[in-house]
Amino acid sequence: MKVISLEDVQGTEHDVDGGNWISRRLILKKDGMGYSVHDTIIKAGTETHIWYQNHLESVYCIEGEGEVVTLKDNKVWPIQKDTLYALDQNDEHLLRATTDMRMVCVFNPPITGKEVHDENGVYPVDED
């Protein structure tokens, strides 16, 4: 059994500031669960280009509001508290935050904890 509090992660190497976002990585690949779980803050007024070519992600908004724009069709998806969106087709997208947004993010395959987006909005594949 694992019990992890947000306080356990804050201020450690698993508290990653990506500029437009802060990701507190709670469950990682090393935990052996087959997925990773993150508590992420998306900063108000930001737009982030993301394209998880190597990962599937589900994102549950627990605070704030913004929108996701899927780039293949330019569809705008409003996001607010109690809304989940699933990037089930490795969707290239823009994430825009109207207010600070707090998200619970789940990745498959799990990440190691040190990833940041590359110039294409991608997390690299962990070859292990």
Of the two residues 123 and 79, the one the predictor is more confident about is 79
Write down the pLDDT at residue 118.
Answer: 62
CA distances from 3 to 25, 27, 32, 111 (A): 13, 10, 14, 19
Query: pLDDT tens across 19-64, in order?
Result: 999 999 999 999 999 999 999 999 999 999 998 888 899 999 999 9
pLDDT of residue 87: 94
Handedness of CA 60, 92, 18, 38 (dihedral sign): positive
Residues listed for the chain: 128
pTM of the model: 0.88
Domains along the sequence of the chain with CATH: 6-108 (2.60.120.10)
Q: Is the pLDDT of residue 117 over 90?
A: no
Determine how many CB atoms are found less than 10 A away from the CB of residue 93: 22
Rg (CA), the chain: 14
